[in-house]
């Protein structure tokens, strides 16, 4: 009985020791072409940076069969990985009330300068300048406003606006704006996009 008890104890200790030294379960193999976002400054083994780089078709036939030249390359010897440097990834297709986006399409800018067609309707502050001295001419064309001479009217009542130009600078408008581009990006945190160049070939549902 003691001998059997000793064998049972030894077997239990051996099993515990083997369990403690067995390797941890390996991480699942990635799917070829999948994108992962990592918080460190390198891509794991089997991955490449999603920076638009050209890679040879001959050494990456499985990945090429999935990507083709969707992201660039000549399709004969090279093809490109997605370029996510400074870009936000969105889903292809058309959302309700939104534009159509083709897979591989890139668009958008970091800054935008407004044009006359894109600014809201608004007003400017203006002023009409005149001389304090009495007028010396009876003609308004190419002249400036001045005080009316004694016994002479300064204004005229008409049914239509005047067609002639007065002297340059008679009406002065204050300039506004600096013609500088404005920021067009949402708040962001920079991480590292990587593409699986090795792994399991994806199957369709």
pLDDT tens sequence across 54-110: 999 999 999 999 999 999 999 999 999 999 999 999 999 999 999 999 999 999 999
Domain boundaries, the chain: 29-86+188-205
pLDDT at 21 over 70: no
Give the integer Cα–Cα distance in Å for 66 and 68: 6
pTM of the model: 0.64
CA 33 to chain CA centroid, Å, is: 23
CA distance readout (Å), 101 to 18, 105, 136: 55, 7, 68
21-25, 122-126, 198-202, range with the lowest pLDDT? 21-25
Give the integer Cα–Cα distance in Å for 156 and 205: 83
The domain made up of 29-86+188-205 has a fold known as 3.90.1340
């Amino acid at each position: 009985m003691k001998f059997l008890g000793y064998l049972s104890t030894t077997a239990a200790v051996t099993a515990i020791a083997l369990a403690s030294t067995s390797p941890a379960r390996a991480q699942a193999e990635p799917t070829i072409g999948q994108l992962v976002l990592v918080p460190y400054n390198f891509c794991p083994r089997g991955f490449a940076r999603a920076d638009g780089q050209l890679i040879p078709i001959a050494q990456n036939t499985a990945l090429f069969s999935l990507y083709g030249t969707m992201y660039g390359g000549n399709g004969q010897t090279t093809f490109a990985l997605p370029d996510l440097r400074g870009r936000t990834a969105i889903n292809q297709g058309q959302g309700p009330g939104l534009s159509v986006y083709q897979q591989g399409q890139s668009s958008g800018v970091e800054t935008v300068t407004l044009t006359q067609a894109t600014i809201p309707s608004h007003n400017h502050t203006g002023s009409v300048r005149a001389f304090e001295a009495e007028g010396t001419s009876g003609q308004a064309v190419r002249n400036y406003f001045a005080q009316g001479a004694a016994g002479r009217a300064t204004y005229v009542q008409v049914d239509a606006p005047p067609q002639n130009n007065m002297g340059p600078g008679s009406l002065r408008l204050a300039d506004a704006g600096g013609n500088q581009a404005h920021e067009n990006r949402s708040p962001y945190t920079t991480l590292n996009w990587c593409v699986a160049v090795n792994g399991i070939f994806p199957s369709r549902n």
